Structure 1
Amino acid sequence: MTAASLPRHAHIWPRVAPGDFLDTYSVATPLSARQALELALRSPNWARSLLKLRDTLVSPLGLKTASSEGRPGFPVEYETEDEVLVGMDDRHLDFRITVLKHDGIVHIATWVHRNNALGRIYLALVMPFHKLILQSAIKRIAAAG
């Protein structure tokens, strides 16, 4: 796993504004962007437990949860053979995950635009878990390749 720069042709770039959160990791793999995304979203039990806890805690605040959306995963916003962009907007923040395959490298980037103080607090609280979940996803992709 390598912290990386997201190639400039990624479909997410028009959304990125000053002050937004954007992190990118990359790994060499023969997997397609879609295959890498599917592996990334196949969280281990400990991560699924954290997400259930998150849903329980934020539901009273009126934030979207997996059960309120009626489906696991995230809506696909954009997809080509080389890139898949998923995510959603909520009242506290907008977020997207893009998986871009370029020159044998899969780049996974998470973008977050905080809409208000709740979004800033939320992102600060989940950041340590975000990093652990993302590192776990990158390891699964690397092992599959």
Structure 2
Amino acid sequence: MAQARADQLPHTSTLWAHHRAGDFLDCYSVESALTPQDAATRGLSMPAWARGLLCLRNALVRPLGLTTEAPAGVRAMGMFPVQIDSRDEFVLGFDDRHLNFRIAVLRQGARIYLSTWVHPHNLWGRTYLRLVLPFHILIVRGAIRRMAG
């Protein structure tokens, strides 16, 4: 099986147009023959424990008016609206009151890159990011391993 690794997001990614100093940006990559769309489908099919955490997150933030699902009529993968769907990059995400975020799956050569960009707007956004980061890391590492192929 191909080895997944922490990596640098290639500068061809559209996420760089959003990125500013102080934003969160991580990136992992793995050798894969999958298209970005197929890699996203495989990688973001979360295990039961991660789906459970997402359900808990939604129950906790729904009373605060935060986004818990894609708007009706919008093409989405799970709760994440599709922002970009091109031959080399597939980007999901949304802008919310506390933060903006995107998940990008980029193909470059024989590698698939999985990156998450987050721009917190306020103290609540920065606190939320700190709280979910340990779970995010576990979920993303599992996702990139599922994208190998």
- Point out the more displaced range, 54-63 or 17-26: 54-63
Which position in structure 2 is the counterpart of 1:40?
A: 43
Which position in structure 1 is the counterpart of 2:67?
A: 64
Which position in structure 1 is the counterpart of 2:9?
A: 6
3-state secondary structure, aligned to 1:12: helix
Return the alpha-carbon distance in structure 2 between the equivalents of residues 41 and 92 of structure 1: 23
Q: Is this contact kept in 2: 1:36–1:99, CA < 8 A?
A: yes
Of residues 114, 136, 140, the one that matches 1:134 is: 140
Structure 2: any 5+ residue segments left out of the alignment? none
Instruction: State the superposition RMSD in angstroms.
Output: 1.3
Residues 109-139 of structure 1 show CA distances to partners (whole Å, capped at 9, x for unaligned) of 0000001110000000000000011011112
Q: Is this contact kept in 1: 2:68–2:79, CA < 8 A?
A: no
Return the alpha-carbon distance in structure 2 between the equivalents of residues 127 and 78 of structure 1: 24
Amino acid across the alignment from 1:15: H
Return the alpha-carbon distance in structure 1 between the equivalents of residues 46 and 93 of structure 2: 16
Q: Is this contact kept in 1: 2:84–2:92, CA < 8 A?
A: yes
Which position in structure 1 is the counterpart of 2:100?
A: 94
Which position in structure 1 is the counterpart of 2:131?
A: 125
Return the alpha-carbon distance in structure 1 between the equivalents of residues 71 and 63 of structure 2: 15
Amino acid across the alignment from 1:73: M
Amino acid across the alignment from 2:94: M
- Point out the more displaced range, 69-78 or 128-137: 69-78
Which position in structure 1 is the counterpart of 2:32?
A: 29
Amino acid across the alignment from 1:138: I
Q: Is this contact kept in 2: 1:64–1:90, CA < 8 A?
A: yes
Residues 73-119 of structure 1 show CA distances to partners (whole Å, capped at 9, x for unaligned) of 31111121111111000000000011100011000100000011100
Q: Is this contact kept in 2: 1:41–1:73, CA < 8 A?
A: no
How far does residue 69 in structure 1 lie from its aligned partner after superposition?
4.0
Q: TM-score, normalised by structure 2?
A: 0.91
Q: TM-score, normalised by structure 1?
A: 0.93
Seq. identity, %: 47
Return the alpha-carbon distance in structure 2 between the equivalents of residues 52 and 124 of structure 1: 19
Q: How many residues align?
A: 142
Q: Is this contact kept in 2: 1:92–1:116, CA < 8 A?
A: yes
Task: Point out the structure with the larger helix share.
Answer: 1
